[in-house]
Amino acid sequence: MRHGETDLNRAGVWQGQLDAPLSREGRAQATRLARRLARGSVAFDRLYASDLARARDTARILGEGLGLRVQEDSRLRELCVGELSGRPREEVFTAYAEVLARTRADPWNTRLPGGESLSDLRRRLLDFLAGLPPGRHLVVTHAGVIRVAIWLALGLTDGQPWRIRLANTSLTRVTFPEAPNAWTGEAGPVGDAAHLER
């Protein structure tokens, strides 16, 4: 699942690996999701989270509701956006227009200035996934990581994963390593945020 909202999300600031805390709304989103999961029939074996505050704190709220201890892992961090971190969207689109054009043309191999490429993120995510024990795990991470996980599940190696929109605290179910079955009926939704509906 994606972490809860931060004030920087709301303000349209590129976060990357900037360690922003949850906003008040982000904590409320995580609480609503915790209630939803606690009422459901699915039991989780383990709870993992990125070690960045917004994911870690979202996971702690879930862990309290589900009786699970959070296991932090830095491999679940968001894409490192380097120099773009902490900058408003408008500034990034203006000051880094050439870099963004290269990224759109080749998102998997183009590194952001001082940051990572999607291939870098894919390598660390695969390393994390390969070490998971069998079972059903709840993983609290970031939109970029989830998009790459979807690409892995679909067996894709190129394309534009940024087109996938994921709400804060949305759930995406991925079966690993059985990629061909990832999107059959049981494997379920991408970006499910029903708990946020009012």
Calpha distance 49→86 (Å, rounded) = 22
Token pair 């959070």: residue: 70
Q: Among residues 3, 116, 142, 195, which one is catalytic?
A: 3
Calpha distance 198→149 (Å, rounded) = 29
Q: Among residues 25, 72, 78, 98, which one is catalytic?
A: 78
Token pair 């976060």: residue: 15
Residue 3, SS3 per DSSP: coil
Q: Is 78 a catalytic residue?
A: yes
Bridge-based pairing of strands 70-72 and 46-49 is parallel
Q: Record the tokens describing residue 145, joined without a space.
A: 């990581």
CB 155 within 8 A of CB 180: yes
Question: Residue 83 half-sphere exposure, CB side, CA atoms within 13 Å?
Answer: 11
Token pair 């870099």: residue: 99
How many of the other CB atoms lie within 10 Å of CB of 153? 22
CA 4 to chain centre: 10
Q: Is 3 a catalytic residue?
A: yes
Residues recognised as catalytic: 3, 78
